[in-house]
Amino acid sequence: MAVPRVAIQTADFDVAAEVAALRDGDGGVGAIVCFTGTVRDRDGAQTGISALELEHYPGMTEAAIERMIDEAQQRFDIRGARVVHRVGPLRPLDQIVLVVVTSAHRGQAFQACEFLMDYLKTQAPFWKKETTPEGAQWVDARVADDEALRRWGLTARNAG
């Protein structure tokens, strides 16, 4: 049975278990690409980040990522994709996001994985608030993330 393509959860995830579930005995898979994003204790000039709180828009977040996976499946020759994103309180070193893509050969899986992350960064409704020695503050969106999406011929006006 195919696993759901999107999970938004407070719980941590097990990369090996996620990969195994996505492969699910598919003998046509010859490449698996995983991206795991983790929480840093620093961000540019900011150091000493002790906690991160992730907020999302229940319903819209899941739907937005489902559409991104549809788009990835149209653009790339991939066999499966799964996105897991954590919400709620997190700490440095915690895993925060997982994108797994399977394909027959590596090229398409590498590209689709990067496409999904670039898309997610600018189009999925999540917001990060970090706790620093100076207090809690919302994280600013990065123009570089909008530019990353432009490589795929898509225009993002999230940060800019």
Partner 1 sequence: MTMKVRVRYFASLREALGSQEDAEIVAGTTVGTLRDALIGRGGRHAEVLARGRAVRCSLNQAMCGDETVIAEGAEVAFFPPVTGG
List interacting residues with partner 1 (CB under 8 A): 37, 54-57, 59-60, 63-64, 85, 96-97, 117, 120-129, 138-141, 145, 158-159
Nearer to partner 1, 103 or 122 (CB): 122
| Rounded alpha-carbon distances, angstroms, from residue 88 to 9, 10, 54, 91, 122 | 8, 6, 5, 10, 19
β-bridge mates for residue 146, sequence order: none
Measured from the CB atom, the residue of 76 and 126 that comes closer to partner 1 is: 126
Sign of the Cα pseudo-torsion (71, 76, 77, 79, in order): negative
State in angstroms the smallest separation of the CB of 1 from partner 1.
Answer: 27
Write down how long the chain is: 160
Q: Rank residues 68 and 79 by Cβ distance to partner 1 and give the closer one.
A: 68
To partner 1, the closest distance from the beta carbon of 105 in angstroms equals 26
Q: Residue 104 or 159: which CB sits closer to partner 1?
A: 159
**Contact yes or no for 10/96 (Cβ under 8 A):** no
Residue 43 Cβ, how far from partner 1 at the closest point, in Å? 11
Shortest gap between Cβ of 139 and partner 1 (angstroms)?
5
CB 130 within 8 A of CB 137: yes
